[in-house]
Structure 1
Amino acid sequence: MNNLIWFRNDLRIADNSSLNKACSGDKVMGIYCFDPLLFGMGDYGFRKTERFRARFLIETVIQLKENLKKLNIPLFVYLDSPKNRIPKFIHEHGIQNVFLQKEWTRDENKARDAVIAHVPASVNFEESYDQFLFHPDDIPYDSFQQIPKVFTEFRKKCETYGKVRPTLESPKVRPSTNLVENNSEVPSLKDLGLNNFSIDTRTAFPFQGGETNAQERVQDYFWETQKLAFYKKTRNGLMGPGYSSKLSAWLANGSISARTIYWEVKEFERVVRKNQDTYWLIFELIWRDFFKYVSLKHGNDIFHIGGILNRKYKWKTSKRTTESWISGQTTEPFINANMKEIAHTGWMSNRGRQNVASFWSRVLEQDWRIGAAYFESMLLDYDVHSNWGNWMYNSGVGNDPRNRAFNSRRQAERYDPNGKFQALWLQETLF
């Protein structure tokens, strides 16, 4: 039995359902495609993946390839679309089973369906829901259509009646006798049509991609510095690596699983301390789950201008306004500082994201999807569900029951009272 793991947003060997299932075969191989479509222009004039996340992804795939090699599992990496490469690979290697993480949004569905359409019907595709904290089979809802509109209701019910599954062990080293020659190479930024760059020394995310680096971040944040014990108090910070866990980028491409983080928090609570701060990291993982279930329930509505509420606003579209927002040249210094941060680093704090999204959609009244697409392009930790879910939430077309807007000046006074963050990013224009 020849099995293939089609890696997508599950770029790890630990707690990986598809990998574990595939290892029941005689021959096991992995494949990852750098799809050129994901590095081309999107619907709103931005590259779908800019240089920051692209390099993080390259680093991640290099590390995945190395970790799989230790298990005697080759990872074949191609700069090609899945529909062009995977059917050929299946034919050349006599693949009978393909294991992959279940995705459900537009681009991912198109990629999967195109591959299935070009292989014999005898090839079995087995998808696993493997990106959740609470697996779909373990939530207290009979169908995705029952997912509530309000997060608090979802959270309380899942905490009461749901369960978090234990993590899966990494597979054992496989016999070297069935190894397949693998001369494929991970592409460079240049291969992807992107320029190389140096990391900005001001960044709050000076980390590299990959499963090993994700595990090292957990070790540092949980156990060496024990900053987890203060997470709720510091999570609205703006500067430096330590104010939050910074695990979102590794979670987004699946270098680490939500279950792994959850059980590590539980171990920390057992060994060190349990408080509101430790719980709050789990709280944020449940938010992440919630937006995934929202997109499962509403499908492509999360990309529509009316959002999941089909609410009608008189949205504007102005190229000049877009350029001033992106370049950090609006009337609000706090907004400008955050926009310069993402432009230079691919990172922005949670507090910053809420403010710039609210300013874009509520104050400037610009089409919220343009802002969401810009974030998709730039963010190191872009996750389709969280990004578009949060943008809907902050733009009045999503899951915010209070339909609130942020006052960026008051927010700056509260979260940057001494102006240090603004000075860091606006020094060339204001100081």
Structure 2
Amino acid sequence: MGDPLQELASLEAAVNEHTKVPSLEAHHALYDVEREVAESIARAAQCTATVDLVVGARAHHEAMTRALAEAKQQVVLACPWVNRLALDEVRDQIEGAVASGVLVCLLWGMQRGDSLDEETKRFLGRLAQHPSGGRMVAAERPAVSHAKVIACDHDWLIVSSCNFLNSGPDRTTDEVGVRLTSPPPRVEADPNDQRTAPSHPISEILRWVRDIMPDFRLRARIIDSPALLGMSERSQRAPTVDTILPPRLDLNDQMRQLSTKLWSREWRQRVAQLRRQLEAARPVAIPVRDVEHRELFLYALEHAERRLHLESPDVAAAGLSAPVVDALKRARARGVDVRLRYQKREIAGEEGDARWRSLAEAGVGLTTADTHAKLLVCDDWAVVGSFNFLSFAGRGRGELGVRIFDAELAGLLSTRFAST
């Protein structure tokens, strides 16, 4: 999905330009742009969710415990590393969920050579089948994913930076995730509208998790459709709008001026109407997958207008290449508040030091912190998830984040950079 804010701004610019010289060609050009923007906003409206921040290791462990206690049918746990001691923290809760008939699905492993320890394998083996019908399943092979997900049925899920099965709840290093809670749309579709209905963000994320499961037999067990969990999956389409008639250029001067004035006013009203629809849809939560994170980072570098804040535990040449450094300095030069928050810098040598000094000299804020969070804040939207924006180029493993269009949440995340 594109950027509905940017697309709406493009439509507004097109209206301002084309209404200066009314013509049938201008009218049709505006309609082409308007339809694309209307569909983009309708898709965004389908991704509306209640969004809450989950901060710190303890909050993530409490959420995992809650998911295991609340789930009626399935819990999905995706974590690249599984530590036996961390698993012991929730052993009783996992056994309780399985005993109540819940499917607990584990995705693990970031690299192809990763493996589970023998004690974890024995634990999984004991829970592979239960008289209640519940079970805990995990593929024998790694998922080759860096994503961290906790999902409770289709009711809510968390996408995060926290390796909740590799560390305990007392870990003090910063972790940030987002919890999405939203019932699927329940508004009847327009029977005359044949456009494909967009998917709910929780469905999209569960579908992505299912697709990266390396065992096709276990993949089929992951439920990504709310309908299979007894919930409505009806979708709301783009609202129908009145047709804007083209300007009448074949009339006398007075009537032609009146017609073009009304035509221009209707197009400006349409832009205002679309803006109200987008505002009503917020907060919008759009899943971000794999290399899409890098693409959004590069997009933000060129399009940020007020702020561009990045948080990532490591800074390395793969993420902060020379072209990226130049783009950060260009953003700062056009007045953008650019800040980086990180734990350690791996760019070494004379060239790396010079690159780093050039950022400081350009006015880019640089702050070290005990952090494992992965954040991108650009103006009034943000991305939260597993992707290391400052150290990873984006290919070779699964990554998952959520892009949130919400000025209040973006502002809240930006307070983490206030000391820069």
* TM-score (normalised: structure 1): 0.26
User: TM-score under structure 2 normalisation?
Assistant: 0.26
Larger radius of gyration: 2
Higher helix share: 1
